[in-house]
Amino acid sequence: MNTLFVVEFRQACQQKGCPFCTLAQQHTRRYLSRLLYEYTLAPDIHQRLAQARGLCNPHAWLLQYIAHAEQPDGVGVALFYGSVAERLHSDLQACLSSARSSHARRAGGSSLASRLWNCLQTEETCLACERQAESERYALTQFLQDLHDSGEEEGLVRLYRDSAGACLPHFLALLHESPSEQAVLWLAQTQMYKTARLAAQLQEFVRKRSLPFQNEPMGEERDSWVRVIEQMIGKRAVPLRRSDHRSL
């Protein structure tokens, strides 16, 4: 197995929350940083970003954050989004001139709003989401391979068992990778155990916030109200396509 991946997976399992979300965050951040450092003049990246009207909301703001933290002048973002803005301008211009043409007037039918709506649809999805999906798939399949090869007490699986476990979207994504029945059973039992523990921590949190018990010090339940959100929807700024996993 890829040694670098094992090191990264171990570190991700030692951090709070879903290790697959942590890996996705790290990989996407590295990818966006590389875009800013190495690809600001790459025509294919500019074209791809322009076709998608830039990145999705969380990834665009992550790009801005990285640029602010690492390249305070913002030139990389300005170069990329210059292409995005130019493409939007030319699409708007093309749509308006076609609507004004006599042919368009004769054709009637579609309103200007619907023409604009069609002109402004994106041809591509977010580039960072696409890369994130690839790296997530790699992590999920490597983990399942290890579960299959090494059993339930070894390697990545032992690291995973001691971690917070997969968030719900990544648990569903694991199921989507067609693991064996035995692996599914282990994953489901582990998920059930971790969910029961989180539910108990939430109960304890609420109990210690109620008047008669307010003097009791908080334990590991202290941040359970934040962790439960991560557990259900994934980490902040990790856009996960739950709809991909609606059916197997």
Binding site for Zn ion (CB under 5 A): 18, 20-21, 56, 59, 126, 128-129, 167, 170, 234
The residue count for the chain: 248
Alpha carbon 148 to its chain's center: 26
Cβ proximity of 201 and 220 under 8 Å = yes
Q: Which tokens go with 238?
A: 């990790």
Nearer to Zn ion, 126 or 183 (CB): 126
Sign, CA dihedral 197-202-205-211, equals negative
Nearer to Zn ion, 126 or 175 (CB): 126
Nearer to Zn ion, 95 or 164 (CB): 164
Nearer to Zn ion, 58 or 155 (CB): 58
- b (16+ CB within 10 A) / e for 193-222: ebbeebeebeebbeebeeeeeeeeeeeebe
Cβ proximity of 19 and 13 under 8 Å = yes
Cβ proximity of 169 and 161 under 8 Å = no
How far apart are CB 24 and Zn ion at their closest, in Å? 7
Nearer to Zn ion, 128 or 183 (CB): 128
Sorted by sequence, the CB contacts under 8 Å of residue 181 that are 6+ apart come out as: none
Find the distance separating the first CA and the last CA of the chain, reported in whole Å. 27
Nearer to Zn ion, 52 or 183 (CB): 52
Nearer to Zn ion, 143 or 204 (CB): 143
